[in-house]
Amino acid sequence: METFQALLARKLAEALSAADLPPAGSVTPATDPRFGDYQTNTALVLAKQLGENPRALAQKIIERLDVSDCCDPPQIAGAGFINLTLRPETIAAKGAELLRDERLGVEKATEPKRIVIDFGSPNVAKPMHVGHIRSTVLGDALARIASFLGHEVIRDNHIGDWGTQFGMVIYGWKNLLDRPALERDPIAELVRIYKETNEKAAADSKVREAVREELVKLQAGDPENFSIWKETVDLSMKEFERAYQVLDIHYDIQRGESFYNDRLSAVVERLLKSKIAEISEGAVCVFFRDIPELAEKPAIIRKSDGGFNYATTDVATVDYRIQDLKADTVWLVVGAPQILHFKQIIAIARREGYTADFRHITFGSILGEDRKLMKTRSGENVPLRDLLDEAVQRARKIIEEKNPDLSESEKIDIAQKVGIGAVKYYDLSQYRMTDYIFSWERMLSFQGNTAPYLQNAYVRIRSIFRKAAVAAPLWGAPEDAKLVLAAPEEENLATRLCQFAEVVPTVLNDFRPNILANYLFELANSFHAFYEACPVLKSEEPARSSRLALCELTARVLHRGLDLLGIAVPEKM
RNA sequence: GCGCCCAUAGCUCAGCCGGAUAGAGCAUCGGAUUUCUAAUCCGACGGUCGGAGGUUCGAGUCCUCCUGGGCGCGCCA
C-alpha cells in the first residue's frame, strides 16, 4: 500500500519530468496545518540550482502536477513552497483501506537485509543494573522494528563471560564461598566474593599472585577452574533470563565472549600473516597510520604476555557474524565510551575486506536526580531487578487508587504492563544520545508523553467496545466499514492514522525509536481530542460506524506501535 | 594534548534529510464533566535555541572558533 507521502512524491516526480526539470527536493508532512497536509520545497531547491525565480518555477511545476484525484488544487506559498491538502474523502478511503490491512499500511523493505543486532551484553557474576536498560530496550525495539519491516534479524547477546575478572571470582569461590548464601541469591554471593577478593588482593601481593594463577589455570583449561567458571555462567544466565522474561525480551542466539576463545589464536596469526598486524613492544598490534583519528591509537590484539583481550574477541566476533551468520549488516548497540574501540574493530574488518555495513549505535547515560550517573544511596549501581520491581509496585499502587474494583489477577497483569512499559517508554521516547534524568513521577504520569498515557488511550477504546458488546456482540469494527470525516477531530485523527506507515521506516534512518514514540503520543492526543468531541456509541449512523472504525484503527495502531517498542497494552487499567 | 558526545521555556524533553511565525509535558493561571475510564480535553503565560563569526533565498539543524559539562585515548572489558 502506497503512503500519501510516496504517492505525492511519485506524482511530483512525474510533473518534474513532464516539465523537463531534474528531480529535486522532497515531499514532507506540512510543518503547520495552515500549509495543508504535505509540502514540497522542490521549487526552492531547483531555483537555487538553475538560478531561476522559485515562485515561477513552482508555478511551472504545479501546472503539470496532477493531484486532482486526491488533493485540492496545489497552492504556492511563501518563498516558493508548494502546499498540498488531501481531501477528506481521500483520507476516509485510505482509512477504510487500512482497516483491511494487517500491516496498517507499512510496506516491507524492498531490499531485506540480514541484520545481526548486538545488544544487552550483561557481564557474568555481576548483577544487571540500570546501565543495561538503554542497550537492552533500544536494541530490542530496533530488532522489532527491523523485523516488522521485513528484514531478517538475528538478536545476539554478546555476554561478558570471559576475562580477567574470573581470576578473582575463582579465588573467591575457592576461599570465601558461602554455599547456602549462593543458593539463596547466587549473584549477590558472587559479587560478595569478588569484592572481598578484590580488597584482599589490593592489600596482599600473595593474594594478587594467587588470583593471577587461578586465571592462568582457567585459560589453560584446568578442569576444576573450568567447572567453577561454568557454574557461575549458568547461575548468571538464569538471572539474566528472569530479567528478560520480565522485560519480554528474546534473543535468537547468545554467543558470549567465551564462544570465541578457540578462534583467537587463528585471528592473530591471520592478521600477522596478512601484515595487517605487527609486533610492537612485545604485543601484537594493528596500527592505523592512514586514518588520522586513529593514527596514534593502535589496537592490541595480543598482549605481550601472550594473552588475548577484548579486541581479539571482537575481531573474531566480526568474522563469525559475517562468515558464519552471513550478516549484511551488524548493529552494535553499545554505549558511547566504546566508540574508539569499535572504530578500530570496524577499520580492521575493512582491511580484511569485509564489506558489510557496521553501525555502532551509541546512547547517553541514565542520570539520577542529582544529574550524576544514577547510583544507589551507597554509591553502587542500581540493580535492574530492584528497579523493575519498584516500577511494578508503583504502577500497582496507582492502579489501586484509580480503579480499586479490578480483580487481583487483573491488577497483577496491569501493574506489570504499566510499570515495565513506563520504564521502557521513558527511555525510548527520548533521543538516544541525550543523557536523561530518571524520574518515577514523570514516567508513571498519565499526562504527557508516557506509556500510561498511551496505554490509557488504548484502554478507553477497548472500553467502548466492551460497552457496545452489551447491546450486541461487537469486539471490533467490521472490515467493510465506511469512514465519514465530518468533524475536524475525526479528520485529524484519520490523517494521523494514515501517517503510521510513513513514520515506522524512518526510525531506522538514524536508529531513533523516539520518532515512533512521538508519533504515538500525537496519535493518542488526537484520539483524546476526538473522544472528547465525538460521542461514539450514542451517535447516529453513519457517524457511529465510522467512529467505531476510527476507534478500531486507533487501537490497532497504538497496539502495534507500542509492540514495536516492546511495550504491552492492558485491556483495562 | 588529541578525539567523540551534549548544551533549546522555570523544570523534563521533542525538533530525521537545512524550510515558512522553534513545539510538547510538568509547574503557574483560567475554563469544560447529569458522559463511551476527568487517568481526559480546551485556552493563557512562558525562548537573545550556550557565545561569536561564516555558508545559504532560508540555520536550532551545516562549517570554523570559543565557553561549559560528560566520556575516551597501547597491553581491563
Rounded CA separation A415/A398 (Å):
9
Q: What is the dihedral of CA A196, A199, A204, A205, to 10 degrees?
A: 100
Residue A296 burial by Cβ neighbours in a 10 Å radius (0-12, 13-18, 19+): exposed
The C-alpha cell that represents A220 in the structure block = 589453560
| Residue A421 maps to a domain | yes
Distance of A291 CA from B63 C1′ (whole Å): 21
A548 nearest nt, CA–C1'? B36
Spatial separation of the C-alpha atoms in residues A490 and A545, rounded to whole Å: 13
Cell numbers at A335, concatenated: 554505549
Q: Which domain holds residue A32?
A: 4-86
Question: Closest protein residue to B38 using CA and C1' atoms?
Answer: A532
pTM: 0.96
Give the residue with minimal CA–C1' separation from B17.
Answer: A26
Q: Note whether A185 and A44 are same-domain residues.
A: no
Q: What is the ipTM of this complex?
A: 0.95
Residue position matching grid coordinates 589464536 = A265
In this structure, what CATH number is given to the domain that contains residue A40?
Answer: 3.30.1360.70
Q: Closest nucleotide to A460's CA, by C1' atom?
A: B37
A36: number of Cβ within 10 Å: 20
Domain identity same for A401 and A546:
yes
A280 falls within a domain: no
Q: Are strands A152-156 and A114-118 parallel, antiparallel or unpaired?
A: parallel
A171 and A77 share one domain:
no
Last residue of a domain, one of A223, A247, A271: A247
**Which nucleotide does the CA of A514 lie closest to, via C1'?**
B14
Task: Examine residue A198 and state whether it is found in any structural domain, yes or no.
Answer: yes
Q: Does a structural domain hold residue A252?
A: no
Q: For A534 and B35, how far is CA from C1' in angstroms?
A: 11
A75-77 and A38-40 beta bridge pairing: unpaired
Q: Choose among A441, A428, A381, A376: nearest CA to A563.
A: A428
pLDDT at residue A471, rounded to an integer:
65
Residue A130 lies in a domain: no
Q: For residue A176, is it within any domain?
A: yes
Contacts 24+ apart (CB under 8 A), A401-406: A403/A572, A403/A573, A406/A572
Nucleotide nearest to A426 (CA to C1'): B13
Residue nearest the C1' of B25 (CA based): A448
Q: How far is the CA of A510 from the C1' of B23 (A)?
A: 21
Give me the CA A438–C1' B59 separation in Å, rounded: 32
Q: Say yes or no: A80 and A178 in one domain.
A: no
| Grid cell in block for residue A274 | 596478512
Question: Residue A295: what pLDDT?
Answer: 86
Q: How far is the CA of A510 from the C1' of B17 (A)?
A: 11
Task: For residue A194, give the nearest of A263, A127, A287, A111 by alpha carbon.
Answer: A127
Phi/psi at A273 (nearest 5 deg)? -65, -40
In this structure, the answer to whether residues A76 and A194 fall within a common structural domain is no
Instruction: Assess if residue A151 is contained within a domain.
Output: no
Query: Between the CA of A77 and the C1' of B23, what is the distance in angstroms?
Result: 22
- Nearest nucleotide (C1') to the CA of residue A298? B74
Do residue A82 and residue A174 come from a single domain?
no
**Per the domain annotation, does A173 fall within a domain?**
yes
Order the strands of the A27-29 sheet from edge to edge.
A27-29, A38-40, A81-84, A75-77
Nucleotide closest to A283 measured between CA and C1'? B75
Count Cβ atoms within 10 A of the Cβ of residue A377 and give its class: 0-12 exposed, 13-18 middle, 19 or more buried.
Answer: exposed
Is the domain of A449 the same as that of A553?
yes
Residue A350 CA and nucleotide B4 C1' are separated, in Å, by: 21
Please indicate, yes or no, whether residues A410 and A537 belong to a single structural domain of this protein: yes
Question: How many structural domains is chain A composed of?
Answer: 3
CATH number of the domain within which A525 lies: 1.10.730.10
Contacts of A354 (CB under 8 A, 6+ apart): A318, A322
Instruction: Answer yes or no: do A392 and A538 share one domain.
Output: yes
* Domain boundary pick from A247, A264, A295: A247
A412 and A535 fall within a common domain: yes
Give the end of a domain, one of A247, A262, A286: A247
Q: How many Å apart are A513 CA and B52 C1'?
A: 35
Cell for A180?
547456602
Counting runs of H as helices and runs of E as strands, what totals does chain A give?
20, 13
Within 7 A of a protein CB, which nucleotides of strand B?
2-7, 12-17, 19-21, 23-26, 35-42, 56-58, 70-77
C-alpha cell at A407: 480483580
**Exposure class string for A172-205: b at 16+ Cβ within 10 A, else e:** bbeeeeeeeebeeebbebbbbbbeebbebbeeee
Residue A213 CA, nucleotide B72 C1', distance (Å): 31
Co-location of A430 and A538 in the same domain:
yes
Do A302 and A268 form a contact (C-beta atoms < 8 A)?
Answer: yes
Give strand letter and number of the nucleotide nearest A369 (CA to C1'): B12
The pLDDT tens digits along chain A (573 residues) read 899 999 999 999 999 999 999 998 899 999 888 899 999 999 999 988 888 889 999 999 999 999 999 999 999 998 899 999 999 999 999 999 999 999 999 999 999 999 999 999 999 999 999 999 999 999 999 999 999 999 999 999 999 999 888 999 999 999 999 999 999 999 999 999 999 999 999 899 999 999 999 999 999 999 999 999 999 999 999 999 999 999 999 999 999 999 999 999 999 999 999 999 999 999 999 999 888 888 889 999 999 999 999 999 999 999 999 999 999 999 999 999 999 999 999 999 999 999 999 999 999 999 998 888 898 888 888 999 999 999 999 999 999 988 999 999 999 999 999 999 999 999 999 999 999 999 999 999 999 999 999 999 999 999 999 998 866 666 666 777 889 999 999 999 999 999 999 999 999 999 999 999 999 999 999 999 999 999 999 998 899 999 999 999 999 999 999 999 999 999 999
Residues A482 and A392 in one domain: yes
Which residue's C-alpha is at the least distance from the C1' of B39?
Answer: A446
Q: Which residue is nearest to nucleotide B22 (CA to C1')?
A: A31
